[in-house]
Structure 1
Amino acid sequence: MDSPSSAEYWSEVETWPRDRIAEFQLAALRRQLAYVGANSAYYKAAWAGIGFEPGDLRSLDDLRSLPVVRKADYVADLAERGPWGSMLAVHPEDVARVHFSSGTTSSPAPVCWTRQDLDRWADLYARFAYSQGVRRTDVYQALFGFAWFVGGLGVTAAYTKIGCTVIPGGSGDTERQIDVMARYGTTAVSGTPSFMLHLAETAERLGRPVTGNRVRRIQVGGEPGGGIPETRALIEERWDAKVFDGYGSLEFQPIAWECERQAGGHFAEDFVYAEVVDAGTGAPVPDGSPGVLVLTHLDKQASPFVRWWTGDVVVRDPDPCACGRTHGRLRGGVLGRADDMLVVRGVNFFPSSVESLVRSTPGATGEYLIVIDEDVVDRATGYLTGVKVRLETEDGAAESAVDRLAHAIRAELTVRAVVEPVPSGSLARSTHKAKRLVREI
């Protein structure tokens, strides 16, 4: 839809009562499962193997009788039935767009869209950007990548739909990005948290601090930083702008974005059905408790996924937002990846917990790496005995920053910390997704 600039909400769907949302989801799931069962050879065979028919779905809870599908299942199917795989639910001639995974752990995996899927994607992104206060009078600069990465084209289509003046900049040419912002009066941008900090740092070095430009809204995604209060505060301070966290994945575009209240990303519950489950048992966890997010499309045509195991640990908040929107929210954004969780002598934590402490350490630049090496691994068992942080520090502040961070990690995470200072500017900056955890053993 094309929402008038004076409207408070992009769509009335955003304020539906909870009972109407549940009623809509059940009807949409029934239609979607019937479509998937008829058109996806993968799901048709998988469901036949457990004796499930789409018509068996009588309640939302019945969906839990179906197995989860993981990235490894998708990759294996592509390897056996490539190049499109048997999950594809349309003829390849009807595929209008293909985006690929990064291919860091396997061959790049394609995810497909029909023209209707693309329209839906753009409208949902536009809904979320609109909820952040973006209007057709804004000049928007897209700082997400365009080469292979899924984010850049999505946001460009969305802000175009709102009616903004759109500048598809991409995630390179840092100095040129800064010049364009100043020259053309950019008011809204989106990019990864690490790139936003890199841009601010570069602009400061050039004597053209970004606090002097017109950017007032920054939508971040691709990394957990937007959901970490300390990282959000750092970006807001360096840009003098509001930061909004956004969450999506290659398979699900989008999932949840924050509104102007910055109180956790709103699910698009008319597009995805979200479950939060125990990582070990797969059983649902109560709202307000952490668990792995499992998603099901409600109206995707080309590459529909049913009970997709995202691997992302989240906390679902069912309470309506102060903005008036009623869809569930992600409290604190994505807490981490279930497979990235670190266990040190029985204490579980995510790398993002370390980031929040680094960002609030005086004398630290904010750049860091978590390093797994012989200093924190027991040679006999292979278990972690502590956490090692390679910390970039400001000139003359190494000793105090190291002491402060080591103490904070011990106090907040209750684990031993080995903090190794490195000079300011020595750690690589990322223009895409920053890698914060490295293994050197």
Structure 2
Amino acid sequence: MQADTLTPTDTPRDACETWTREAIGAYQLGRLREQLDYVGEHSVYYRRLFAEHGFRAAQLTSLDDLRALPFTRKRDYVDSIGRVPPYGEFQAAAPADVRRIHFSSGTSGAPAPQYWTEADLDRWAGLYARYAHAQGVRPGDVYQCLFGYAWFVGGLGATAGYQKLGATCIPGGSADSERQIRSIFEYGVSVITATPSFVAHLAQTARSMGLDARESPVRHIMLGGETGASVPATRERLEAEWNAKCFDAYGSLEFQTIGQDCHVQSGPHLAEDFAYAEIVDDEGQPVADGTPGVLVLTHLDKQAGPLVRWWTGDVVVRDSSRCACGRTHARLPGGVRGRADDMLVIRGVNVFPSSVEQIVRGFEGLSSEYQIVLDPSVCDARTGFLTGFRLRVELEGAPLGADVAERLAHEIREKLQVRASVDIVPAGSLPRSTHKSKRVVREGLDT
């Protein structure tokens, strides 16, 4: 692609952003060979897996050859940590070379860690800087991070990226709403990152303080941790409340931020120089652009904890055509369309029904029958985003102490970092199934 198809204000930060599709594919194949050779040598898990499938990195002659390997799922990752704690069998860097560890809830309810070396952290910051630049952020902008910093992956990664770009950074975190608003107005904050629900909450907080978010200096809002920025009605509402442009971001603990909107806002651009993306159907077969499927990712440039054919569970649609901004990396129009499993996203935290079940089963006197209830009482009235969940749990027999519901709610808050309202119901109250029990129940909601 010729550089003059881009406007002067939108010259890409990184040259790879405008490579031809052929150049992207050639680069990915070369990087895959190198990365898989590294993984096969340094990761116990993949060394064993490659041997079981008679696979060698040198045999890759096309990107399609990667399909000779099975998917890697979160259960595989969590189980490996149980076998070889605390780093697990996926770790491919020496512990002494690890510079950062972040955690999220695993499918068993135990924290699932991910690791970064110095080079990994620099790569991560570079991707954030790339995306911020594509959204119009420049050196001299004042950036306030409204993602959480404790344990989870959002805050530190975003801050490092905007700092790398040359912005002045304020690590605000996700609490103390009035102070966040005061800081935005006092320091001329032009860029914020947060979950959509927190951005909506801050606009309301500003009104309660006699201020108008539309009159704040904020002009760029990067949204992550929840769906919303790719939903037209939600985006329009937030943009109107702040008089600012909202940009959708896609990422995960395992792959950090690997997709964000450019200024055109036509769907997050995948970082195709950092990860190889497959979109597959329920049978694991590739689907064409424009067809919904599950996103499967493979690291192309990761030293600590690299993953091969990672089943994200996120349902997306890919568009590999050139964007109106001139960039050629594929986009995910509409962002994440749904989940291939029952995972819930509550205030940016991933919650699996199996994690809840693990906690419930730790309480004597409670049966294995439970329901996670989603109704208007656990949804933000303005945005519809989940703020928690209700939990119905059956007694196994005789009534328990009056404090069991409170203790169970406390345990959920401690282990999963989300709030739950617990109802203990008599034995036999919940419906039974001869097949799969319906663990997530929606009551009074449209979807």
Q: In which range does the TM-score fall when normalised by the shorter chain?
A: 0.7 to 0.9
1:183 aligned partner: 186
Deviations 1:25-73 (A, max 9, x none): 0000000010100111110001101111111211100001101000110
Residue matched to 2:147:
144
Aligned to 1:354: none
Gaps of 5+ in 2: 1-7, 345-375, 393-424
In the TM superposition, what whole-angstrom CA distance separates every residue of 1:174-207 from its partner, at most 9, and x where no partner exists? Answer: 0000000011110010000111011111111221
Which residue pairs with 2:218 in the alignment? 215
Following TM superposition, by how much is the alpha carbon of 1:384 offset from its aligned partner in structure 2, in angstroms? 10
Give yes or no for the alignment of 1:389 onto 2:444: yes
For residues 384 and 104 of structure 1, do their structure 2 counterparts lie closer, same or farther at Cα, with a shift above 3 Å needed?
Answer: closer
Q: Measure the CA separation in 1 of the matches of 2:136 and 2:169.
A: 16
- 2:284 is matched with 282
> Residues 200 and 383 of structure 2 are in contact (CA less than 8 Å); yes or no, is this contact kept in structure 1?
no
Q: Distance in 1 between matches of 2:58 and 2:385?
A: 52
Q: Counterpart of 2:335?
A: 333
- Whole-angstrom CA distance in 1 between matches of 2:78 and 2:29: 29
Q: Deviations over 1:95-124 (max 9, x none)?
A: 111111135742111111110011111001
TM-score (norm 1): 0.78
Contact 1:313–1:337, Cα closer than 8 Å, also in 2: yes
Distance apart, 1:372 and its partner CA: 9.6
Distance 2:323 2:142 in 1: 28
Equivalent-residue separation in structure 1 for 2:295 and 2:305 (angstroms): 19
1:83 matched to 2:138? The reply is no
Calculate the TM-score normalised by the size of structure 2.
0.77
The range that moved more, 232-241 or 260-269, is 232-241
| 1:110 counterpart (108, 113, 116) | 113
Q: 2:204 aligns with which of 201, 205, 210?
A: 201
Q: 1:148 to 1:341 in 2, by over 3 A?
A: closer
The AA in structure 2 aligned to 1:11 is D
Q: Which moved more, 1:377-386 or 1:141-150?
A: 377-386
Instruction: Give 2:101's aligned residue.
Output: 98
Equivalent of residue 18 in structure 1, options 17, 21, 24:
21
Cα separation, 2, equivalents of 1:130 and 1:40? 35
Q: Which ranges of structure 1 fall in alignment gaps of 5 or more residues?
A: 343-357, 359-363, 391-408, 414-441
Alpha-carbon distance in structure 2 between the residues aligned to 1:64 and 1:82 = 29
Instruction: Give the letter for the 1:22 counterpart.
Output: G
CA 1:323 to 1:47, structure 2 compared with 1: closer, same or farther past 3 Å? same
Structure 1 residues 229, 83: CA separation in 2 closer, same or farther (over 3 Å shift)? same
- What is the correspondence of 1:206-355 to structure 2 with a 5 Å cutoff? 206-279=209-282, 281-340=283-342
Distance 2:143 2:440 in 1: 47
SS at match of 2:247: strand
Matches within 5 A, 1:42-81: 42-81=45-84
Tell whether the 8 Å contact from 1:368 to 1:389 is kept in structure 2 after alignment: no
Task: Kindly indicate whether the alpha-carbon contact (under 8 Å) linking 1:141 and 1:189 is maintained by their aligned counterparts in 2.
Answer: yes
**How many residues are treated as equivalent by the alignment?**
365
Alignment RMSD: 2.4
Match of 2:42 among 35, 39, 43: 39
Measure, in 1, the Cα distance between the counterparts of 2:223 and 2:273: 23
Tell me, yes or no, if the aligned pair for 1:372 and 1:388 is still in contact at 8 Å.
no
Residues 247-301 of structure 1: CA deviation (Å, up to 9, x unaligned): 110000222100000000000000000000012x111111101111000000100
Give the residue type in structure 1 aligned to 2:383.
G
- Structure 1 counterpart of 2:358: none
Contact 1:289 1:316 in 2 (8 A): yes
Matched residue type, 2:268:
G
- Report how far residue 234 of structure 1 moved: 1.3
Report the counterpart of residue 366 of structure 1 in structure 2: 383
Q: 2-side partners of 1:249 and 1:202: how far apart?
A: 29
The code of the aligned residue for 1:339 comes to D
Aligned-pair identity (%):
55
Q: Aligned to 1:259, what secondary structure does the other structure show?
A: coil
Alignment partners' CA distance in 2, 1:264 and 1:223: 15
Deviations 1:353-375 (A, max 9, x none): xxxxx9xxxxx63346698989x
- Say if 1:127 and 1:121 are closer, same or farther in 2 by CA, change over 3 A: same
Question: Closer, same or farther in 2 for the Cα pair 1:71/1:215, shift >3 Å?
Answer: same
What is the alpha-carbon distance in structure 2 between the residues aligned to residue 383 and residue 111 of structure 1?
A: 31
- 1:170 pairs, out of 153, 169, 173, with 173
Partner amino acid for 2:290?
G
Q: Are 1:371 and 1:387, in contact at CA under 8 Å, matched by a contact in 2?
A: no
The code of the aligned residue for 1:35 comes to: Y
1:101 counterpart SS class: strand
CA distance in 2, matches of 1:329, 1:310: 16
Q: Does the aligned pair in 1 maintain the 2:127–2:258 contact within 8 Å?
A: no
Cα distance in 2 for partners of 1:164, 1:372 equals: 43
Alpha-carbon distance between aligned partners in 2 of 1:227 and 1:328, rounded to the nearest angstrom: 16
